[in-house]
Chain A
């Protein structure tokens, strides 16, 4: 059979290195060279180690947000990946470490007798250093008992952040008869603090900004996941049956207590923190081949989520008669999926899939507060959602390597609705999607596709919002995830190799959403748009020199409207003081990147990568009726990253490596700079931030 060339989607997977590697540049182009700084494969040829030292010449909290290289100073660089295979028994042993000298260290030990048994132990840390520094006089940060200054008080700098410490265990065992068992357990301890606050509007010490007090949330929680499954491979029939359980335990679920602070916030303590909760699921999934060209897949799952953590207590937490000391939360989940793919004739492929997911919230409904306010009947509000989806697609081969694809999709969501509502609601949303695509997946020089998608979402009538008194509330806005919506999308993808060493990839996508509001109302979501383009090029000069470059432009827009001070019955004043207004939100980014890999001599490897992103958030606010509306200023963000590396081989399996990274972040984001909490706390960030990082390391490849 004479087959044409293949769909070349990976041709430009080469060159994204500049975006990656906190303390190193990865080496994506010369793939036959083992990268001593990125050792991860279970391959006897991948054993290596590198040790060195890095120096950061500047403070840069954005750069070090997840690796801890956020202050000037020296940092240890240590990576290793030792892989050994016993050829007689097929037993692998691997010891792996990455960024061992940094805050985001990852360690792994694993051993397996291939095709028989295996186990692994992982230890890793995922830090998050809050980029903002809190200048605060709040006392007790990190605990759940905070003391808030009663007046504007100058503070001292406090670093916030969280750290996840993860321990993972895994066991595999194969049995005769094509059975095997997989067990995975993951324990994660998360501790630290994150930005949190309490407050209300009104007049506070900072006249412009009401009564808001800084109250960092203390975090000390354990998350556990256990999954155990049995797999069967019977050739035509593949099966997996398993259990997946999760558990969240918050050591601070007694709440966050405040003392001091403004008198007007005296009832704002304690603040409830996330409650302990658990989930259990059993499932069976499978794949059955009716014929070599007709396969089916399925999954059935049953689950339960429970939450019975004790409520916060205290004089500010009165409990209504008849309510217990916990919610008794219980959600039952069911999932059923069935899909089939078939090739009834060589040129025709068919696909169909049907799925139902039922989340049945069985949490007891009780009246938690009496008397209820106007916008609530005092009951808790369980959320049950049933989602049904169906998809079908036909794919037919045409001459010249083309294919035509047509598909339809459907999704229906049914949800329960509370009796008293302040937000527009509908019980059912129903979306239908249609797709047609022309694709050329195989060619010597040009592959690609053009697709058109149209979808239409509507649903059951919106229910009239109603207050507890029975009075009709405001009915002006169809929520973005419930509103009637027509969506059109065009996508073009092309991969062109005009000459052997050159590969060009082009991607374009244009999408438009048209929303319909509540009857008689022009408020709420109106339109959404997205235009995404990218152009990538890679050129192989020869075996020793390769380069690439790319450009990407992403533009999303969202048009919405609302009004100030609508009456409880939903009448907009549209007055000078309370206008009806719109915003055309836009996020526009231009991104470029380029990379070079070279091996000028047998001993030297060189690499360079640069990326630059310029992002603009625009708000384009305007008056529809009433007084003038001043738009928010744009937010401009610029990100630059340069990675350079040079590697010099002292001998065949060892050498030295030099890394240089320049990273710059600048932004005029107005979110925090002018804000002062009522206790005097301010959150500050140095702008722009830039860092020069130099690393020197010695690497050794095990033979």
Chain B
């Protein structure tokens, strides 16, 4: 239903001598469309509006490249544009975008978690504004948190990545367009993704720690925790989820006591086992094999 703004646009067009006889250039440049959709033509200030690139909408048929033939709409505004994005399914919308945007970082969009969950390109990208928030590291998380509510809370925990400062963005670790890794991580696996910044943990070492080699996320929650160092649980509890209770390993967590306090306070179990991600020390004169030196 047309409101006051719609009637104003119609009147403006009817009063315009050229309103019903626009040139192809006017249609391609969006001048006609801008009469009513003034904000939308900000898109021509971006990549889609580069005339010198023959692949862009403005170099093809302008707004109609994505929205379809405007003829019927121009005859009567009660006729919607053929591609009315607000009424299209995710697949239909994505088909429009993917008629140009295929391959490269989007190679594994087909079958990705986002694709299968009806996420459309326009769910995240805003094309008709000067600033596509999802392509800015500072504002990108807001877009992701529209769905990922748990992570919204976690990134503000005391132990966190510098996400709210805009130094690390979701897309530094995840490829929202699909990947071959779990949780759409950027590289082929969780560990490979973590190693891109934390390569010192990769090894291989003389003494390796099984879960470290298997999956960083066994011990860490990269989105944020209250336990130090992004650990899922504090020590000694975290270590006791795997280790047999022989010797000191099952000691009660405590804030006092020579061995129990040392399990819990300061660096916890790492007070002794300082190189917990693995050590390249070949000796064992002080139990270095248990990551102590």
Contacts and interface: CB of A to CB of B under 8 A. Distances in A.
Nearest to B251: A564
A208 B266 CA distance: 13
Contact of B180 (A296, A299, A425): A299
Interface string B120-154: 10011010011111011111011101110110111
Given A212-B271, A267-B286, A20 B196 contact: no
B30 to A, nearest CB: 14
B162 to A, nearest CB: 4
Given A41-B135, A570-B244, A615-B226, A287 B107 contact: yes
A581 B202 contact: no
Interface string B195-220: 11101111111111011011100100
A434 interface: no
Interface residues of A, number: 214
A587 B259 CA distance: 25
B138 to A, nearest CB: 6
Contacts of B164: 19-22
B283 A43 contact: no
A527 interface: no
Contact of A285 (B108, B115, B126): B108
Interface stretch (B8-16, B17-25, B52-60): B52-60
A317 to B, nearest CB: 5
Contact of B254 (A480, A558, A630): A630
B89 A385 contact: no
A275 B252 contact: no
Contacts of A372: 284
Given A6-B120, A246-B196, A591-B153, A203 B281 contact: no
Contacts of B285: 267, 316, 318
A208 B166 contact: no
B68 interface: no
B284 to A, nearest CB: 4
Contacts of B157: 615, 637
A104 B110 contact: no
A423 B242 contact: yes
A376 B272 CA distance: 18
Contacts of A43: 42, 45-46, 130-132
B272 A114 contact: no
B241 to A, nearest CB: 4
B119 to A, nearest CB: 7
Among A92, A106, A317, A677, find the residue whose CB has the most chain B CB atoms closer than 10 A.
A317
Interface string A564-576: 1111101010000
Interface residues of B, number: 143
Contact of A12 (B146, B166, B180, B254): B146
A585 B136 contact: no
B293 A567 contact: no
B87 interface: yes
A317 B282 contact: yes
B104 interface: yes
B70 interface: no
Question: Most A CB atoms within 10 A — which of B115, B143, B157, B214?
Answer: B214
A208 B107 contact: no
Contact of B146 (A13, A413, A564): A13
Given A246-B195, A271-B281, A474-B244, A277 B202 contact: yes
B226 A286 contact: no
Given A208-B256, A317-B281, A632-B253, A31 B264 contact: no
B6 interface: no
A671 B210 CA distance: 26
A283 to B, nearest CB: 8
B272 to A, nearest CB: 6
A98 B218 contact: no
B290 to A, nearest CB: 8
B45 to A, nearest CB: 4
A674 interface: yes
Contacts of B265: 209, 670-672, 674-675
Contact of A85 (B50, B165, B210, B288): B50
B103 A329 contact: no
Contacts of B69: none
B71 interface: no
Contacts of B85: 6
Nearest to B247: A565
A648 interface: no
Given A297-B110, A309-B280, A441-B90, 5 more contacts: A6-B88, A210-B258, A297-B178, A509-B150, A554-B153
15 contacts: A7-B90, A13-B142, A91-B52, A199-B271, A231-B103, A240-B103, A279-B195, A297-B111, A327-B206, A335-B188, A477-B242, A563-B245, A587-B225, A633-B255, A683-B266
A-B pairs, top 8 by smallest CB distance, nearest first, are A90-B52, A274-B200, A40-B136, A13-B146, A45-B130, A479-B242, A66-B162, A238-B103
